[in-house]
């Protein structure tokens, strides 16, 4: 398998959406046991057009349109994974995970442990998160913090097309349940993606996207790109290190600590609601493992404990963005 570094590999430019779709295509071609299931992922190509034409290539047996019953088909995916299949489930919007949480938390996440390790659970759950589309409270949630909290589940959330490819490959190839969170506002974001069909990114590795020495910004999803822009803006003034957290669980404590030993200052930017969010766990890891390196209070940038309001002016207000990352940096440097 290829390593996580992007250096010196052949790449091609694609969007996050394309990176996901092509990864699905490659993994389905590689392994017969991989199949997709979800609502309107075949004939319609997915409401956000991620699965696209895959059903044309693989047929509706391997790209399965399901009835609208997330509890039933998440359970079926779990049962299928326990018996030798390698399903990739799409939950159209992550808010709908509530419908399927029983199967996720009590079956998928616990089966291996309860059975004393005597089963594997190679299932991937893809779902979209986040605000910005005017989709209102029930179609805009960012729920990855509670999936990351739940024992027995792995959770990843790419911020770039390359991360999308590498993490999705690892997720599908993993024998553990992995949730793959797609922020809907970055589907069109493009970047260089290694063409290697075995390009994987280990689950549990963060990635320094930009080195800097004054302050560390640990960001996820859409906020990776926005933080990189802020870092550019501040160039010359403040030297900002930007890390794409990538994996929420396992969480890469080492990369966080290394960066803090250099910068001593930390901003955590993630679209989760702030209280009990991903930010808090990053803060806790930092305080446990790099306490004596910290020079200033850690800053959290996220959704201020509201749901996503419909009105664009309200939605803009509660959505964290580059400006808030910048403010947070300025508060501590």
Ligand X SMILES: Cc1ncc(C[n+]2csc(CCOP(=O)(O)OP(=O)(O)O)c2C)c(N)n1
By CB under 6 A, residue 92 contacts ligand X:
yes
Q: Positive or negative, the Cα torsion across 219, 223, 228, 232? A: negative
**Best CA proximity match to 328, nearest among 304, 306, 300:** 300
**Best CA proximity match to 283, nearest among 299, 302, 301, 264:** 299
Q: Which is nearer to ligand X, 48 or 296 (CB)?
A: 48
Out of 14, 20, 54, 80, the residue judged to bind other proteins by CB under 8 A: 80
- Please identify which residue in the block is written with the tokens 């399903």: 87
d(CA 120, CA 240): 41
Active-site residue flag, 70: yes
Of 18, 27, 139, 281, which residue is the catalytic one?
A: 139
**Best CA proximity match to 9, nearest among 247, 186, 197:** 197
For the segment 18-47, give every residue that binds ligand X (CB under 6 A): 39
d(CA 234, CA 143): 31
Query: Which residue's CB atom is positioned nearest to ligand X?
Result: 96
By CB under 6 A, residue 99 contacts ligand X:
yes
Contacts of residue 41, defined as CB under 8 A and 6 or more positions apart, other chains included, come to 50, 51, 54, 55, 63, 64, 65, 90
DSSP letter at 133 equals S
For residue 255, the Cα-to-chain-centroid distance in whole angstroms is 17
d(CA 231, CA 222): 15
Q: Which is nearer to a second copy, 97 or 162 (CB)?
A: 97
Q: Which residues bind a second copy (CB under 8 A)?
A: 71, 95-99, 101-106, 109-110, 113-114, 136-138, 141, 145-146, 148-152, 249, 251, 272-273, 275-281, 283-284, 287-289, 291, 294, 296-300, 303, 305-307, 309-310
Of 70, 90, 182, 241, which residue is the catalytic one?
A: 70
Judged by CB under 8 A, the stretch of 148-156, 181-189, 220-228, 235-243 that binds other proteins is: 148-156
Q: Which is nearer to other proteins, 75 or 146 (CB)?
A: 75
What is the x/- site pattern for ligand X, positions 49-78, by CB under 6 A? -------------------x-x--------
Say how many residues touch ligand X, by CB under 6 A: 6
Judged by CB under 8 A, the stretch of 58-66, 191-199, 207-215, 216-224 that binds other proteins is: 58-66
What is the x/- site pattern for other proteins, positions 269-288, by CB under 8 A? -----xx-----------xx
Q: Which among ligand X, a second copy, other proteins, none contacts residue 149 (Cβ within 5 to 8 A by kind)? A: a second copy
d(CA 3, CA 199): 7
Q: Which among a second copy, ligand X, other proteins, none contacts residue 281 (Cβ within 5 to 8 A by kind)? A: a second copy
By CB under 6 A, residue 48 contacts ligand X:
no
Residue 154 buriedness (CB in 10 A; 0-12 / 13-18 / 19+): buried
Catalytic residue annotation: 70, 139
């Amino acid at each position: 398998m290829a390593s996580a570094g992007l250096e010196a590999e052949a790449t091609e430019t694609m969007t996050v959406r394309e990176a996901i779709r092509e990864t699905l295509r490659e993994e389905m071609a590689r392994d017969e046991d991989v199949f997709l299931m979800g609502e309107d992922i075949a004939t319609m190509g997915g409401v956000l057009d991620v699965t696209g034409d895959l059903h044309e290539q693989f047929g509706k047996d391997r790209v399965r349109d399901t009835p609208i019953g997330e509890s039933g088909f998440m359970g079926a995916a779990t049962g299928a994974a326990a018996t030798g299949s390698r399903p990739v489930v799409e939950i159209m919007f992550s808010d709908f995970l509530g419908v399927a949480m029983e199967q996720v938390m009590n079956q998928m996440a616990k089966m291996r442990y309860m059975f004393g390790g005597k089963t594997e659970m190679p299932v991937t759950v893809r779902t979209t998160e986040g605000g910005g589309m005017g989709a209102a409270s029930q179609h805009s949630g960012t729920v990855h913090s509670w999936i990351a909290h739940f024992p027995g589940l792995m959770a990843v959330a790419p911020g770039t097309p390359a991360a999308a490819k590498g993490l999705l490959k690892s997720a599908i190839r993993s024998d553990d349940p992995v949730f793959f969170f797609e922020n809907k506002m970055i589907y069109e974001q493009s970047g260089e993606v290694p063409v290697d069909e075995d390009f994987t990114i280990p689950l549990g590795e963060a990635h320094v996207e930009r080195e800097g020495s004054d302050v560390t910004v640990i960001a996820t999803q859409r906020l990776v790109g926005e933080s990189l822009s802020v870092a550019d803006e501040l160039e010359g003034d403040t030297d900002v290190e930007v890390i794409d957290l990538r994996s929420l669980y396992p969480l890469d404590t080492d990369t966080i600590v290394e960066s803090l030993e250099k910068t001593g200052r930390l901003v955590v930017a993630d679209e989760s609601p702030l209280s009990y969010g991903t930010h808090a766990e990053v803060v806790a890891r930092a305080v446990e493992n790099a306490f004596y390196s910290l020079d200033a209070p850690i800053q959290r940038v996220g959704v201020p404990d509201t749901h996503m309001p419909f009105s664009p002016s309200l939605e803009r207000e509660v959505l964290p963005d580059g400006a808030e990352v910048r403010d947070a940096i300025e508060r501590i440097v």
